[in-house]
Structure 1
Amino acid sequence: MQITKACASLSRGELVIYPTETCYGIAADATNPSAVSRLLKYKGDRHRQVAIAVSDRFMAQKYVSLNEMASNLYQEFLPGPITVISNSLHKLDPRLESSTGTLGVRIPAYPIPLLLIKEFGRPITATSANTSGKKEPYSKDDWEKYTTPDKQKLVSLFLDAGKLADRPTSTVVDTTLNDPAILRQGELILPTLSHNFTTTSPATTQNFATELTHKYLPLTRRFPLILALQGELGVGKTQFVKGVATELGITLNISSPTYTLMREYPYPAGPGLAGPNNLPARPGPIGQSKYSGILYHLDTWRLSDPKELESTLHLKSLLKSGNIVAIEWAGKAAELLKAYEKDVPILVINIKEINVNTRQITYAFSTPEWS
């Protein structure tokens, strides 16, 4: 009876709170722009990406394109507490997608949302029922305690299953990269996912950096981007920044800022945005759209105290939408950078020397879109 009532509410463009295998989530009809607007008004934090929940893989494939990695994750881990990011087929409200045109999909393992989706016949949103900056609710009492009366009025129905077990939120995996990237680590641990890349020359290190920048550059429309570079002296951190500059269309020589502490390179880039090795830009939204800002290249090697990143280099003032801040020897400032995780996308890049020419590069990515 409650499921039927919830379906009726969703059909009217209303919001319904429902239990999941993690915390309580909030559902809107993902095919209804008015319902999505209502959801975003409730959440109050426009920059975070919203996943959808579907009943099965067949429904998922109506809205996303599944590559081999995504297919394997669906087969091995879904239904379950994992959100799989794939390239969107752009059939839903674009506000549910990331800035790179991807869409997160979940198949819940909890019976109530599965029944709800099957009876409703369309995907629902799969985001936690907390409002911006508030605690995820594991009970109705939690929700009432941390949600303002005005926000509560936006919700038509609460499917109350009592107090849920206090579990982490879902693991989020981006399958649109050459190797999958865990954007948020939840209850489900995926230890076999590799983020290792091997380069065999400074040029291939630069090319890898160019490709990685190309992937994440659209985030700079809404955020600054921090590149936290780690590795021993001479391992290729500056070569990596050269590759970043190539993607931004910067033609100035990029040199180490060890003695100057910081260098800056403004970049207006658009239809002429350079690709690898200064070839023309790739076709698609990135090459056709304008990006502008400043590439800041920082080095903490000579800083006696990591706090000088703020007191001397004024890091906070550099973190504006469009700007990219590449920090060499970032490990020295790990604790300081952690404070920015909820507001700024951060790529942590580790470069390790294997031999004279070969480098192993690993990276981890965190983004406010999935915080």
Structure 2
Amino acid sequence: MNTIVLDQNEHNFTALREQLRPILKAGGVVVAPTDTVYAYLVDATNQEAVDTLRKLRNLPMGKPVSVFVGSLEFANDYVEISGSAEAVMRKLLPGPYTLILPSKRQLASGVVSEKDTLGIRIPKHPWLNELVLAYGAPLTATAAGNVGSSTHLSVASFLKSLSKKKQQAISLIVDGGILSRNDPSTVIDLSTTDPIMLRSGEGRKLKEAITESAKDTEKMASELLHLTKDYAKQKPVVLLLEGHFGVGKTVMVKAIAHELGLDDVISPTFAIYYEYDVPETQSIIKKLYHFDLFRIEDAEEYSELEINSLLTPGSLIAVEWAQKSHDFIKHTSVNCTVLLVHMERLGDTTRRIEIRLLQE
């Protein structure tokens, strides 16, 4: 089993595609990052590859496998697309959606459902779409790991969950680093007259904005705090901030702290978290906890943090490196509101900031 590193900032993926082509043609299994989680990629037209995938994933008989198709035009070779379905698809794709459509049955057994439908994905992930189109056949889009287990946002997490025997069945791992915390794709059935949502994915979007400077980010922080205070009237609030190095996560937290009357906030990278008493002039939020999960390596470390003891009325927990927050949230049994703040670098000073409500 070999591993290659994917440079997420690279725009020419020709070399990577050429490395993967012979592996996929030979029926090999590739583990790679997607716009949601790490996934198993195999040639969906290769019966031996699909059989290997089903064993790796422990998929029960009759459970279908969704596929990446790269583009609407390419999808048309494998599924029936009505005029109304196409209108929905053009609104949603590319994005974190699996769309169920009538199959044309040109794939290996075990991919298409017993109802002759096929789940297709066109991810918001350029290299994957380019790979599928260049390869010339759909690739499976099922999450890496065992069915029913947690999905994986890093290669380390995935390998830790897999037996040595199953690791030997993997031909190549494409390491895209720690992925942003994302829910599984939203599943919508378009095979009937009226679309039916079978599974909800991402939380509800509350706000999205493009910022051009740190000052803009600070203004966004003020708006985020206003939202937070509305929820804090009812229960504790957790803010999950995700994004790569230098995207502005700490700037956001410091700006929130400043709005709360706190100007001595520093990054808690080595301490995991710092606790701050909010001045009494703030009537709703009484405590600010600033977490940095970058150095957390093991899920067991979360139990030592005693997170539930911090989730008291009037508390606000701001968590940097939310890519590692899955186990953080698992250790919160206290009823709280969870907001996800996704920060994406678009240029030297330009950022896209999206706020979603994950748990109310």
TM-score by length of 1: 0.49
Cα RMSD, aligned residues only: 1.6
Pick from 27, 40, 47 the counterpart of residue 54 of structure 2: 40
Task: Report the Cα distance in structure 1 between the residues aligned to 2:204 and 2:130, rounded to whole angstroms.
Answer: 26
**Paired residue secondary structure (2:110):** helix
- Counterpart residue identity of residue 199, structure 2: R
Summarize deviations over 1:36-61 as a string: whole Å, max 9, x none: 11111111122432111011111101
Matched ranges for 1:13-162 at <5 A: 13-46=27-60, 47-162=62-177
Alpha-carbon distance in structure 2 between the residues aligned to 1:189 and 1:130 = 27
> How far apart are the structure 2 equivalents of 1:72 and 1:187?
21
Distance 2:198 2:117 in 1: 13
SS at match of 2:115: coil
* Contact 1:79-1:108 within 8 A present in 2 as well: yes
Aligned mates of 1:189, 1:105 — CA distance in 2: 23
Q: Does the 8 A contact of 1:69 with 1:180 survive in 2?
A: no
- Tell me by how many angstroms 1:165 deviates: 0.5
Match in the other structure for 1:10? 24
Measured after TM superposition, the shift of residue 3 of structure 1 is 2.5
CA distance in 2 between partners of 1:154 and 1:24 (Å): 16
Instruction: Give the drift of 1:129.
Output: 0.8
Q: Using a 3 Å threshold, how does the CA distance of structure 1 residues 189 and 8 change in structure 2: closer, same or farther?
A: farther
Residue deviations 1:115-154 (CA, integer Å, cap 9, x gap): 2212212110011112123211100011111111111111
C-alpha displacement at 1:188, in angstroms? Answer: 7.2
The residue identity in structure 1 corresponding to 2:168 is: K
Cα 1:61–1:184 shift into 2, 3 Å: same
- Show CA shifts across 1:235-294 (max 9, x none): xxxxxxxxxxxxxxxxxxxxxxxxxxxxxxxxxxxxxxxxxxxxxxxxxxxxxxxxxxxx
CA deviations over 1:197-231 (Å, ceiling 9, x no partner): xxxxxxxxxxxxxxxxxxxxxxxxxxxxxxxxxxx
Q: Which amino acid aligns with 1:125?
A: T
SS in structure 1 of the partner of residue 175 of structure 2: coil
Identity of aligned residues (%): 34
Q: Distance in 1 between matches of 2:116 and 2:203?
A: 25
Normalised TM-score (structure 2):
0.51
Structure 2: where are the runs of 5+ without partners? 1-14, 206-360
Distance in 1 (alpha carbons) for counterparts of 2:197 and 2:164:
35
